[in-house]
Amino acid sequence: MEQPTKSFNTKGGKNRLRFASAKYRAKRASADVYRSSDNSLSTNATAAREKRVHDSSFVGDGRGGSKKRKKRKKGNNDVDGKGNEKEEDEEVRYYGRDDDAEGLGIGRTAVIVSSKSKLQLETSKNLVDDINCDEELLGVKAQSGDEEEEEEKKAALIAGGTIFFSELEISAQRNGSQLFSKLVRELLPLCKSLAELLHHRERIVELLYAYLLSPRGDDAGSPTQCRLPNEGWKTYTKRLAGKSPNGYSVNMATNDVLHLFGVLARELRQEIYPFLTTRILPRIIDDMLNPPTITISAEDFGKHQNNVPLDVSHVESAFRALSYQFKYNSDQLIHNHLPKQSSERKDTQSGKQQVGDADILRQYYGKTICHKRDIVRRLSCESYAPLLRKCLDKELKRHLSRTVKALAGSLAVAAVESVVDVDGDGTNKDGREANRTDHMTNSAKRARADAIDGVSSLLFEVSRGAPGRVHSKKGRLVTRSLMDCLINTCCGSKTNAKNGGGKSGHTQLALEKSKADAIYEVASQFLYKLRGHVSRKSHEGEDDMAGNAFAEILDEIHRALDLTTSSMKKMSSSQPATISAVINCVLGHAIDLMTETINFQDGRLISSRHGNRGEADRVANSLQALVQQDIYSNAGRKLQDQILRCLCSAWRTNPSHPTYALRLGKFFPSIVAPTNNADTNSLDVGLNPALFLAQNLLPFLPKKVASTYLIPALLGAAASSCQGEKNCNMSLVLLHNIATTTWPGSGTEHTNDVDIDDTAVNALFTLEAAGYCSEISRQVRSSLFDICLANDSESPPIKQKRRSKASSHSSRIEQLAHSGYISRCIPFLVCLECSGDDEGSEDDNISRVENSHSEEALNRVWKWYSSILKKLDAKMEDEGKADKGEDFIVQSLLLESFSMSAMECHRRVSSIKTISLMKKTLTKAKAYASSLLFLHPSSLWVVRGVAAVTKALSCIDPGAKLNNQSNEMFEMLVPNLAYPNHYLRMYTLQILESYPARPFVTDHADLDMADDLEEEPSYRPQPNEGEDKSIIGNSSASSLSGSCDVITLLRILESIPITLPNERKLTSQFSRVEVYARTGKLPIVYAEAVICHMLGLLNVKFAPVWPV
């Protein structure tokens, strides 16, 4: 495991020395030598020296002259009249050869001259000659009588040296190891001048090659053996392989040698190219980054150790050295020159110059960009990317296409072989196509993931630009190359269409699909990285320009989607199944790429609220072409799911965009139409397309759009597929999703309720979806009622059959769950039926038929409620208090469902027969609710259901009570008010409030508890000015008389949300309750209720907070 490394911060301060972990250093490591970066805390010890060697601002102005820079002085004498610090100009002058046309600084010496020195130079210009002036600028004090020393220094200035020689001396001072000192002694005589450096370049490269690594297992201080005189290079490498079978390891000189490789490339330029591909690249990539795996036997366990991962500093130094090699030899690498080939060599066969596609680099991709370590993959991509950007568009596209296709081919063969080895023909036992990666080993899966990540990272590095932008020229080109590789998979399948049947046909199909899958994974990761890059803002407060930066990439995705869609349209029934399957696969991948782009940060790249209204129209046009009958009906189940997923994602990002409703709404009936050949592979996204749309699109559309286009189509699909037990269950699930759909309310962001799940609790029974659906046909409504009521009337939930105890209990639970499931759908259907009954018709015969149908359906509902409640109540009485856990929950749901249906019928239906039957059922439900409440007084389900019944009673039959046992109900329910559950307190207060309010008492001290309470005549105190009429303004006990409404106050207090705007309202309600409590005239049961409720409210956090 890598240990934390001490790093140096050149900015100073108390954090001058830090300890950076390997993960932190890997994150900061970079091989991009073109972009300027802050090296204040670098993982590479030679980063500062690299900037001095390779940065032109530290060398000269390109003409062999000088370059000015400013430096601030903080001395007391360096302040102007205004108290500001003066800026002193410094000039960098170079002395040496005058014919340095390239401005490389070779053979020159740099001297920094300040403005003060220049002033002194001008005043003493007549006193010394030009040579003495140069000596003074160099800091050399001339002494009279020592002319020989002056001449030697002048000759040294004129003769000059090399940057390699200077860096070698600096490295020798920094690295005092014995190994590196030995290398310095051998290199110093070979690089004193540029002529010597050129003449001994092969010897220098071989010395650096030998000292870069040490043989593994030997002494770490010994270098690799050098090549013998007159020994061939191949013979030399074979001899090293025999003597070092375990590979090589880094040593104390590795980082400095890598730095010297970059400096040598800076000096020699194209002269080092013959050694680049034969010595330098194999040494770094093969020997250093990819050492051979060591197998340890039990006998030799103490002799060898496993390969220790390279430290981050070594990996970064290696790739920075490679980056400099690529930088100074880019022309040769781009044109694929051989080591002994000149830049003017012509192709002997075609007579043309070598193509500039940098194809010579692809031989190293497998060991670098597909490496198992993430840092190696990332830094290698940063090294290759600048070189590839220099290629012409046509050549770069050819290079990237070859890379992607080679990767896809190798991954496809590996995936198909793993499937064939297990299944024989690439299919499962049931004949369906096997998953192409399920049978791969974990190591093979990881190697596949590393390769895909490496290639996608290479494409990303080539196409990315400044933060928040894509490369102006290469970004679109890279995306087009990748999309063309995906599209061309269809063409490749056509050439192999002759293998139409048998095992070869299955294998060929699996191979083509695996290629498409691999290319899709590369494209998906590439676009994921690119989307994250363009979403970054270069400056704070800058406008969001991610959509504009990604516009060209979106154009290429649309182009690929349009091409694959047209191929799908042109596909005929006479074509082989292999071609159609591959086209379906490729089209699905193109749709998935579009879906991922749409889903990015909630539609940031295409949403109209970010100024991308035109992009939303393009997406709508593409979806319109996909959902048309000629494509959607011929698509497989998987492709249909991908189309629906894209449709839901696009519409959810722009729910109010009119284009989607106008162009896509008319296709919903054909999309959700049930099919007989349903594929079980689609269970991961829903039971069918209709259910998928109900789950993923319906809650996100505006109510009017949903009720106009989607809900009628979904209800029609549910009604038309209710034949058979399995289809009936699917229709019931679909109906349940529609009936329980809720939409977020407008303007409710800062009115949070007491608990965070208030929305879910209130949505247990909802009629939102039925509020705007008034155009549902009578046949559809009748079929929906049949789905819910037919099976239950034929097979009641409680069956008395002789079965085993376990199977009988399980069957009974399923039937109870089925009844509870139906109870949530019935109010929705009743609301639909009442809405249809409200609509008039010009034809009286049609109107009478509609009214007759509605009356029949509603009467059927009331009979079902009465029957099911009666059977459940009888079963509970027979079993007593044992084994009734599921019964009272279902009965509570049925009570609440019936209450909502009865109130909806009471408001809209005018049929006397229907109203009469509904009231009879309400009377029975009231009795069932009363008995159920006595059995389970503290159950939240029961209290909720009974509270719904009391609400229905107050609406349908005002003045009616749940029962005549008021004292018993208070005694039984008041303890619920001390519970911490908000909903239990709320529903309990609703039940208690349904009983008539009790009057104030005279005095508790004079009361005889054995007799009835003495009451005063009805009287209500007058409220204070500005208060509600129910507020008691006088705290005197003698002024309070009449009915006491403290239960209503408690219910209002419990229902007020705990938010900052409601703080005054909450305080006012507490004050009113306090006034009632101080009077001493509260009835005993009310006083107990107040005490318990105050104890229960202690569980609520009353600290007001600002809304988030």
Q: Residues 1003-1057: pLDDT tens digits? A: 555 555 554 444 444 444 455 554 554 444 444 444 567 888 999 999 999 988 8
pLDDT at 866 over 80: yes
What does the pLDDT read at residue 18?
A: 60
Tokens of 243: 């003597």
pTM beyond 0.75: the answer is: yes
Angstrom distance (rounded) from CA 856 to CA 798: 25
Q: Are 886 and 816 in contact (CB under 8 A)?
A: yes
Of 94-108, 579-593, 653-667, which range is least confident?
Answer: 94-108
pLDDT at 638 over 50: yes
pLDDT at 765 over 50: yes
Secondary structure class of 640 (helix, strand, coil): helix
853-864 average pLDDT score: 87
What does the pLDDT read at residue 564?
A: 92
Task: Give 1106's pLDDT tier (boundaries 50, 70, 90).
Answer: low
851-870 average pLDDT score: 86
pLDDT at 131 over 80: no
pLDDT at 130 over 50: no
Angstrom distance (rounded) from CA 451 to CA 443: 12
What does the pLDDT read at residue 876?
A: 66
Burial environment of residue 168 by CB neighbours within 10 A (0 to 12, 13 to 18, 19 or more): buried
Q: Are 205 and 233 in contact (CB under 8 A)?
A: no
Q: How many CB atoms lie within 10 A of CB 436?
A: 21
Q: Are 358 and 305 in contact (CB under 8 A)?
A: no
Of 833, 756, 750, nearest to 789 by C-alpha is 833
Q: Residues 336-347: pLDDT tens digits? A: 776 655 444 444
Task: Give 1105's pLDDT tier (boundaries 50, 70, 90).
Answer: low
What does the pLDDT read at residue 852?
A: 79
Tokens of 259: 């730095």
Q: What is the DSSP letter of 802?
A: -
What does the pLDDT read at residue 506?
A: 77
Task: Give 136's pLDDT tier (boundaries 50, 70, 90).
Answer: very low
Tokens of 754: 């007491």
The percent of residues above 90 in pLDDT, for the chain, comes to: 31
Q: Residues 786-801: pLDDT tens digits? A: 888 875 544 444 444 4
Angstrom distance (rounded) from CA 92 to CA 101: 18
What does the pLDDT read at residue 725?
A: 60
97-101, 593-597, 875-879: which is most confident: 593-597
Of 769, 749, 762, nearest to 701 by C-alpha is 769
Of 357, 394, 376, nearest to 457 by C-alpha is 376
What does the pLDDT read at residue 727?
A: 66
396-401 average pLDDT score: 94
pLDDT at 955 over 60: yes
Please state whether 602 falls in left (phi above 0), alpha (psi between -120 and 50) or beta: left
Q: In whole angstroms, how far apart are CA 125 and each of 32, 117, 133, 136?
A: 47, 12, 8, 11
Angstrom distance (rounded) from CA 427 to CA 436: 10
Burial environment of residue 166 by CB neighbours within 10 A (0 to 12, 13 to 18, 19 or more): middle
Angstrom distance (rounded) from CA 945 to CA 367: 68
pLDDT at 277 over 70: yes
* Higher-confidence position of 206 and 910: 206
Burial environment of residue 348 by CB neighbours within 10 A (0 to 12, 13 to 18, 19 or more): exposed
261-283 average pLDDT score: 92
865-888 average pLDDT score: 71
* Higher-confidence position of 512 and 352: 512
What does the pLDDT read at residue 795?
A: 42
The residue assigned the tokens 């507490």 is 1070
The CB-side HSE value for 527 (13 A sphere, CA atoms) comes to 29
Mean pLDDT of the chain: 76
